[in-house]
Amino acid sequence: MRITDARVIICSPGRNFVTLKVTTEEGIHGLGDATLNGRELAVASYLTDHIIPLLIGRDARRIEDTWQYLYKGAYWRRGPVTMTAISAVDTALWDILGKAVNRPVYELLGGASRDSVMVYGHANGSNVDDTVAAVGRYVTAGYKAVRAQCAIPDMPHAYGVGRGDLYYEPAERGTPPETAWSTERYLPFVPTLFERLRREFGPDVHLLHDVHHRLTPIEAGRLGKSLEPYHLFWMEDPVPAELQEGFRLIRQHTTTPIAVGEVFDSVFDCHQLITSQWIDYIRTTVVHAGGISHLRKIANLAELYHVRTGSHGATDLSPVCMAAALHFDLSVHNFGIQEYMRHTDDTDLVFPHAYTFADGVMHPGNASGLGVDIDELLAAQYPYEPAYLPVARRQDGTMHSW
Ligand code: GCO
Ligand code: MG
């Protein structure tokens, strides 16, 4: 099963996506998502200029060997661009293997560990009433878990307040938009939001909140403690996580569960967090953390330490990643939850897929491989458009983490 062709397809059906398409001598093709929001062309070049020439002629069945060849062979290890490119190759090879043996990928990963995959959606609003209404719409739509974000009074650009109800799309065409941030206003406000949400929706719905890397460890400890009465499913990305040791301090102060890892690209970003039991959910995902192969290694380590998975699944991760994530989620024992922000209708048409949503849960479907494809003719109608994620500044002008 030699690889005879590999190509990068860049399209923008509502937002930018980079997709790797690998084809074998039998004419089987596999897809991998290679989208790195705001830095898309760097991954496209890494694949086209440095990886694709090495793939031609290789045996598509040697998934682990190809992973190690690309990882060790580059000499320069890790980093989001490298790891997103390797992820795309790995995902495409699992897709090819599934198609070659005519089985859905989750069966090759050990089979289903559960009947379906619980997902959460994003509810947000420019004030508490709007956020309550948005959570209500998700609950009515059958969701068992909802992430709630709200603009802080007098700070309209708090993280998570997006355009539209179903898609959360922070990247904007042109240069990076600037947003303002105030920890002083945020910290006392968030508990009032969750106090209201629990009053409106009762104890059963799972409520989540994304801090989006904005606090210091001691501030995060305070926030987690003040949210304890509202028993969140998780508090996400409380601090920027380059300093794994910082989570020890958060953990000392709160029992609110902690989720982290959407920007991690390998197990080396989180091994200390996991083995020290400083976190509860690891959010690494197929497209940025080394594909299905490496994500399984992270999950297997996490399982030993009672840490469960909660893969990133925002709108900027393509339906190819979503499909791969669902095969992983269904199979892995220590699954926790999967983020699911819907794609626009344009995106769904460009990437026809077998995965389904009903009653708050998803299933990858039983098509062979990943069960997702790309309509290249349609994709060509949506050319790439440069777009950037926002940046954040504190009120005195100091750059802050967005
Ligand atoms: C999430 C994330 C996203 C990111 C986005 C960046 O929890 O879904 O924080 O919304 O901001 O994926 O590209
Ligand atoms: Mg997040």
For residue 314, the CA-to-ligand 1 centroid distance in Å is: 6
- Residue 314 near ligand 1, beta carbon < 6 Å: yes
Q: Which atom of ligand 1 is nearest to the CA of 236?
A: 7
At 166 the pLDDT is: 63
Q: Which atom of ligand 1 is nearest to the CA of 160?
A: 10
Q: Are 88 and 294 in contact (CB under 8 A)?
A: no
Tokens of 384: 């790439």
Q: Which of 209, 212, 294, 363 is catalytic?
A: 212
Q: Would the pTM of this model clear 0.95, i.e. be above it?
A: yes
At 79 the pLDDT is: 98
Task: Write down how long the chain is.
Answer: 402
The bridge status of strand 17-24 relative to strand 3-11 is antiparallel
Rounded Cα distance between 154 and 394, Å, is 14
The bridge status of strand 338-339 relative to strand 356-358 is unpaired
Q: Report the sign of the C-alpha dihedral through residues 301, 77, 326, 328, in that order.
A: negative
* ∠ CA 335-83-111, rounded to 5°: 30
- Residue 109 near ligand 1, beta carbon < 6 Å: no
| Sequential pLDDT tens for the chain (402 residues) | 999 999 999 999 999 999 999 999 999 999 999 999 999 999 999 999 999 999 999 999 999 999 999 999 999 999 999 999 999 999 999 999 999 999 999 999 999 999 999 999 999 999 999 999 999 999 999 999 999 999 998 886 778 776 666 667 888 888 999 999 999 999 999 999 999 999 999 999 999 999 999 999 999 999 999 999 999 999 999 999 999 999 999 999 999 999 999 999 999 999 999 999 999 999 999 999 999 999 999 999 999 999 999 999 999 999 999 999 999 999 999 999 999 999 999 999 999 999 999 999 999 999 999 999 999 999 999 999 999 999 999 999 999 999
Closest-lying ligand to the alpha carbon of 316?
Answer: 1
Cα–Cα nearest to 91, from 349, 376, 322, 273? 322
| Shortest-distance Cα residue to atom 8 of ligand 1 | 314
- Residue 168 near ligand 1, beta carbon < 6 Å: yes
At 154 the pLDDT is: 83
Rounded Cα distance between 145 and 285, Å, is 19
Q: Could you give the 3-state DSSP secondary structure of residue 21?
A: strand
What CA–CA distances, in Å, run from 237 to 81, 223, 240? 21, 12, 7
- Residue 172 near ligand 1, beta carbon < 6 Å: no
For residue 24, the CA-to-ligand 2 centroid distance in Å is: 36
Tokens 């996991």, residue located: 274
Rounded Cα distance between 394 and 185, Å, is 11
The alpha carbons of the chain give a radius of gyration, in whole angstroms, of 20
| Shortest-distance Cα residue to atom 3 of ligand 1 | 314
Q: Could you give the 3-state DSSP secondary structure of residue 119?
A: strand
- Residue 389 near ligand 1, beta carbon < 6 Å: yes
Rounded Cα distance between 47 and 6, Å, is 9
Rounded Cα distance between 37 and 22, Å, is 22
Rounded Cα distance between 359 and 139, Å, is 10
| Shortest-distance Cα residue to atom 4 of ligand 1 | 314
Which residue(s) pair with 388 in the sheet? Answer: 172
Q: Are 146 and 119 in contact (CB under 8 A)?
A: no
Tokens of 353: 């897929």
For residue 220, the CA-to-ligand 2 centroid distance in Å is: 15
Active site residue 212: yes
Which residue(s) pair with 138 in the sheet? Answer: none
What HEC string does 265-301 produce? CCHHHCHHHHHCCCCCEECCCCCCCCHHHHHHHHHHH
Q: Are 292 and 328 in contact (CB under 8 A)?
A: yes
Rounded Cα distance between 61 and 79, Å, is 26
Q: Which atom of ligand 1 is nearest to the CA of 159?
A: 11
Domains defined along the chain, listed by start: 3-103 (3.30.390.10), 108-367 (3.20.20.120)
| Shortest-distance Cα residue to atom 11 of ligand 1 | 170
Active site residue 186: no
At 170 the pLDDT is: 87
The amino acid that residue 253 corresponds to is H
Tokens 């790797």, residue located: 20
Find all residues with CB under 8 Å of 136, minimum gap 6, and list them.
Answer: 200, 201
Q: Could you give the 3-state DSSP secondary structure of residue 30?
A: strand
